[in-house]
Chains A and B, each alone.
Chain A
Amino acid sequence: MIVQKFKHFQREILNNLWQFRARNVFSVTIICLSFLIVGIFVSLSNNLQYTAQQLSQDMAVVFFLNKDISPIDREAITRELEKSTLVQKTQFVSSEEAIEKFLIKFPDLEGIVDNLKLNPFPSSYEISLREKNLTYEDTQPFIDKMRGMKGIEDVQFNKDWVEKMQSLSRLARSVGFFLGGILVLASFFIVSNVIKLNVIARKDEIEILRFVGGSNIFIRIPFLTEGIILGALGGILSLLLLFVVIKLFPLYLGSSLGILNELINFRYLTFSQSFALIFSGAVIGLFGSMSSIAKFLKS
């Protein structure tokens, strides 16, 4: 009996999806566009998060030394660095090594370097920090102490960038969820109304089903399943559209954004994010159908 009913539902759902295709396409489009907006912001946020992670992986402090630093002062600095619990690795880079590194990174500028009479690069200590998630309060006393030592000319620390990137990523995600949330809510009402139109169009059919002994579950299942299918379909289509956006966006903008190109970039959603998107679509469809059909089933 259950198999027969299952087959009946299958036929009913396919028939109804086809019969009311214009309305169904409309609701799928609404869900798809709403989720596309959410997807774009999540993708953007993913990219910022990724950039922040990359930066935090090589979170380093560079202590540039005075040209005329005495061996005693250098020794004192070395000792201080070895003593610190924050330091994971210390590497001394002489001014010769610094110029070599520079030329490897920027070979086109070799002529300029050759024309210089003096080596402009100071020697330095490059420090890797032990923990990646250190806060300002954790690191600042150490940095300040080192900055005050004799022989240290300047300090370069990229933690600020990491933090900025992370907060930007959080901002992008919040904006995405806020705008997306509004759109998703709007799409919920639109979908529930579209399904309500379907239900109204089939009001007589529902009434007949009730008179011939159809249980509420029997009547509800096709409508709810249709809602879930439409919602999930909207979610899947939004992912496909997002894929197209991610592919086309760099081609459209080219290098016009310059250095911002790396930041305003789209990264594919993770598997769990994609699943959550499709799942949310299905839930919207389900609740949309539930709210639409409820009043028609009241005795």
Chain B
Amino acid sequence: MIELYHIWKQYQKPDWALKDVTLKVNQGDFCFVTGPSGSGKSTLLKIIFREIFPTHGQIVVDGRNILRISDHKIYRLRRTMGIVFQDFRLVFHKRVFDNVAVVLQVLGYPRKELRRRVFNALRMVNLNHKMWEYPSHLSYGEQQRVAIARAVVNNPNIILADEPTGNLDTELAYEIMSLFLEVNKKGTTVIICTHDRELIRHFGKKIVFLYKGKLLREENI
């Protein structure tokens, strides 16, 4: 479970990126965070995986206040999360296999088990046949699917995705959302930031609306 209590975030005075956001996302939720550009969607995600600290407020993830975790132990929190970025953040001089395998290498998986898991994750996103290619040889949609495979390969408790369909056409966007739904069915909490209303209408279960850093409303469908 993810709980945010009175989160305020200020990058530069006098503007606030987030203003008093209090939010609860239960285990197994499929949650959309939406709002126009600059509404604080990405900031909210960054705070949850603790890339940045809030100016005020507290965040509890699975019963632990993550703001009290020391910097050199934060990797333990991140091992329970899969993160998908809008710009994919793939390592272009490494093959697709290695891009996905890095998550398991960090955890010290044996080579055989690692190969099996990477293969399964890539099969799930229908890219197992391109396992030994370099990301630069793949299309945008395929690169995003590699990023998703990387996020799910170690069965994380939480998946955070920041505009995962931002650069994709409608058909690919639906395909990718279906992948997130599939992962969510296995019990993983998924939080997706998007401003794509069509997607939200089609897939939305829990929707959080942000506007100029304030939480306007929450909807459970």
Contacts and interface: CB of A to CB of B under 8 A. Distances in A.
Interface residues of B, number: 26
B132 to A, nearest CB: 15
Contact of B91 (A4, A8, A208): A208
A85 interface: no
A10 to B, nearest CB: 12
Nearest to B77: A213
B89 A208 contact: yes
A226 to B, nearest CB: 16
B79 to A, nearest CB: 3
Most-contacted residue by chain B among A7, A211, A214 (CB, 10 A): A211
Contacts of A218: 75, 106
A210 B78 contact: yes
Given A2-B108, A4-B109, A216-B72, A209 B102 contact: yes
Given A212-B102, A212-B103, A213-B78, A5 B108 contact: yes
Interface string A188-229: 000000000000000011011111111110100000000000
A57 interface: no
A8 B75 contact: no
Contacts of B71: 298-299
Nearest to B79: A213
A299 B78 CA distance: 13
Interface string A17-51: 00100000000000000000000000000000000
A208 B102 CA distance: 9
A259 interface: no
A1 interface: yes
Interface residues of A, number: 22
A101 B79 CA distance: 87
A213 B75 contact: yes
B185 interface: no
B76 interface: yes
Nearest to A212: B103
Most-contacted residue by chain B among A5, A19, A204, A208 (CB, 10 A): A208
A293 to B, nearest CB: 14
Given A210-B75, A213-B76, A7 B111 contact: yes
A47 to B, nearest CB: 49
Contact of A211 (B76, B78, B93): B78
B63 interface: no
Nearest to B80: A213
Nearest to A4: B108
Contacts of A205: 91, 94
Given A5-B108, A8-B105, A213-B107, 13 more contacts: A2-B108, A4-B111, A5-B105, A208-B91, A210-B75, A211-B51, A211-B78, A212-B78, A212-B103, A212-B106, A213-B76, A213-B81, A218-B106
Interface of B: 49-51, 71-72, 74-76, 78-79, 81, 83, 89, 91, 93-94, 102-103, 105-111, 150
Interface of A: 1-2, 4-5, 7-8, 19, 204-205, 207-216, 218, 298-299
14 contacts: A1-B108, A4-B108, A5-B108, A205-B91, A205-B94, A208-B91, A210-B78, A211-B49, A212-B102, A212-B103, A213-B79, A213-B107, A218-B75, A299-B50
